[in-house]
Amino acid sequence: MNTRPYKGKTGVARLINAFGYSLSGLRSAFRHEIAFRQEVLLAAVLVPAAFLAPVAPTARAVLLASVFLVLIVELLNTAVEAVVDRISLEDHELAKRAKDIGSAAVMLSLFNLTVVSVVVLVG
C-alpha cells in the first residue's frame, strides 16, 4: 500500500506531474537563490561558448556536462539547506555540517568545471 498520496499517479499523468514539479523547483531556485541565478548566468555564457568552440563532440559533451553538473549540485545543495532550515533555524553542529558539505559539493563542481574548461579549451 502506498502511504503517500502523490505517488498514486502512473504513466503519462505521473510524467506530466513530475515535469510540473521540476519546473516549479527550477522557478523556486531561480527566484529565491542568488547563487543559482549566478550559476544560470554562467551557464548562459558557457553553453553557447561550448557550441562555438572548435573541439571534438566528446570534448563538447564533457564541457556541457560540467556546466550542468554545477546547476544540479547547486539545486541539491539548495534542497539540503531548505530541509535543514525547515527542521530548525537554531544553530546546530549537524545543521552546519550538512550546509557546509553541500557548499563544498558546489565548490568542487565549480572546480571541476574550471579544470574541464581549461583542459578542453587550452589543450
- The CA R_g of the chain, rounded to the nearest whole Å, is 18
- In order of 60, 77, 96, 106, the CA distances from 100 in angstroms are 31, 9, 6, 10
Residues that are catalytic: 74
User: Contact, 47 vs 71, CB < 8 A?
Assistant: no
